[in-house]
Structure 1
Amino acid sequence: MYCFLPAANTYSPLDAAKILRCGGVIFSNGNIWKQQRRFALSTLKYLGFGKKSLEPVILDEFRHCALEFRGYKGKPVNPHLIINNTVSNIICHLVFGHRFEYGDERFIKLMLLFDKALEIESSIWSQLYNSFPLLMRLLPGPHKTLKQIWNDVKTFIKEELNQHKKNWDPAECRDYIDCYLQEIQTNKEREYNTFDEENLIMCVLDLFVAGSETTSNTLRWAFLYMAKYPEIQEKVQAEIDRVIGQSEQPSMEDRVNLPYTDAVIHEVLRMGNIAPLALPHSTNKEVQLGGYTIPMGVLIIPNLASVLFDKKEWGTPLTFNPGHFLNEEGKFAKKASFIPFSAGKRLCLGENLARMELFLFFTSFMKHFTFSMPAGVKAVMDYHAGITLAPKPYEICIKSR
């Protein structure tokens, strides 16, 4: 399940991000990565990662999203931007301490910048930049646009940072930026300190890219699968109606009583295969694996798709089948080969948040809406290759139940 490549002469869609940006919590290594990841994990947990206190925030954001969808009155709509806004607002709550209205021009511009940047990073221009960096720095092209986009995003984050600094109270940490500012103060005299405002900006940028793109793409895949398999959608809705009812809101506590719904979410994650190559790794010493000697300094790309579609692990690996996650009694059963969030020390930082968002958003959508393709249109399950595997742009009918 691995590809081994000489680190200095290889291309991964993520390399461009590594070249054009530095620091942060995703693409850093060594002491920087250890300090930033440790801080991010503890801080996000303090702010509600995996805790019941975050449920009302997610459910309230669903309410705003539902109002947007209801405005189309069942007519075809491309859910891409709305879902991006919805998921990103959860990150905004954690990082900035507030959400943005969907009509906010600054927020819309930010979402469009992310889309454009990720599109360029997965293009041929990114490969050319990685192969001929000295030459490409002298030539015009989208790679120059990419650098400007990330600068614009960093400017947006700096503006939020400056607002925080104006009324920052070290005794009251409201969000990630507040906590990070406190960490800067605490560590400024310590040796090997990596906490500064530039790293803060990069960490916030990483949290946005990693915490919104993957979850929003997964939800868009879920809408498509529900429209393609209405019988599965009906079964999910029947289970939710039976367990939660019409008047109650979903809660993470309901998951144990919604085995079929949970299985469908996991099957969407498996089939959606959002990040098939995860993040590139590099060996820091010579290692032996499967009879091969892997030298130090080699880029290692884990092939998660080889596990998620392994015939030995899944009865019908290329078919959307929630039964993959149900035992003979119909209870939810997770497999060890289910690793869409990768594994090891660089396991997805936001896995707990993603799981909570997917469950609460998906059950809320199924409780309140029915998804179907426009008349005469079939669901196309082709993906758009990029930093993540996103469904190709589509329109869908979202009707209130």
Structure 2
Amino acid sequence: MAKAPALLRSLALRGLTATHAQVFAGVRLVPLLRAAPRGDLRISRRGYDDPMALVDLGEGALYCSSYVPHALVVGWTEDGSPVASYGAALAGPAERNPLAKLGCGVNLLHRMVRREARGEDPAERNRLRLLPQHLAMEGFLALHFNAPEIAWSEYSRRAISRGLDPRTEVSLSGRAIPSLEDALRVFEIHEGQSGLLLFVGELLASVFVVSHPDDYRALHRTLIEDFFEQTLLHAARHNGDSQAFAHTFDAAQVGSLDDLRAALDRARAETGALHLDTAAGLIGRPIAAERVYRAGSFSLQRFMTELEPALDNHIGEAIVRDDGTLEYAKTYRLSAGQVRRARLLQQLAAHGWNLDATAAALRIARDQLLRRIDGEGFGYLIAEHVLKAALKRTR
């Protein structure tokens, strides 16, 4: 049995090359080219007609999203041979929810990641459906989701019995980002393009990678169906046009078509390196990863950067080949508020939800910690009389 790919320690674009960008207003798209796609893993889209999804996570937990426009269906082979079919044939018909007849508008999905079929035919068996971005977001929302293990007197009955149930975050559809839809419509898709770095208002909004150029061409416009954090809306409106990196050639060094071709290759490589530098908030930065599914020589993982308020912070999911080649990736940029909330929960959990110990670690007063918990939307975790007294003393 093949050795499972190691967990990601950083998001590296192994097998991909960045090239010169295309700019439209505040949107900058950096193509990622794959020189030698193998074809033994293919990805296609499956659309949904209903706007909401309930996903059974097991053990009585449900993930609810009000925005699930499509799923991705991944097909792979065990022996390295090309996947026999893809596109519409691989994806199959759009699913209908049994509750739709009741007017609920809900897609009831059995799992966040689910094998499509369990028959004997490998072509049918080796298909996996996943909800892009939702796999990563579900892991982020589940961060320290459980109730405190010790029934501290300061916590409410709800906190002791249910913990952070439910925890919610708000995002924007890609259609809300100014110029994004127009940019995706007019941008040229390069030969060999299998992904992109998407910048909005000079902020890295997303990394999107698939395993094959044909799959990328079919999935290019699904970026408008992704969801994005709200800071990008402000950045797109107020940061002005994205920067276009210009490159000049020394005419004295170009004496033939071969010279011109070599100079162009150098310019593309230099420009691609510059774009990767602007994505350093994610690319090459340490991440914490979790394996979600093993598919032959591939591993589906979700990950999160270290939550540093002074840096860009991202969550995402990836499919990695056993040699480290990145075959699929989809990321989501976290807002400053999301980072604050997650860091607060990490600190509370790390100190056993003990308020005094957590406040000491943060070098703030206990009442300040209670006020911060309330300010981040977690006030329902604290007993009402405790929170009221703290807020009164800190006024």
TM-score (norm 1): 0.26
Which has more radius of gyration? 2
Larger RCO of the pair (alpha carbons < 8 Å, separation 6+):
1
Which is richer in strand? 2
Which is richer in helix? 1
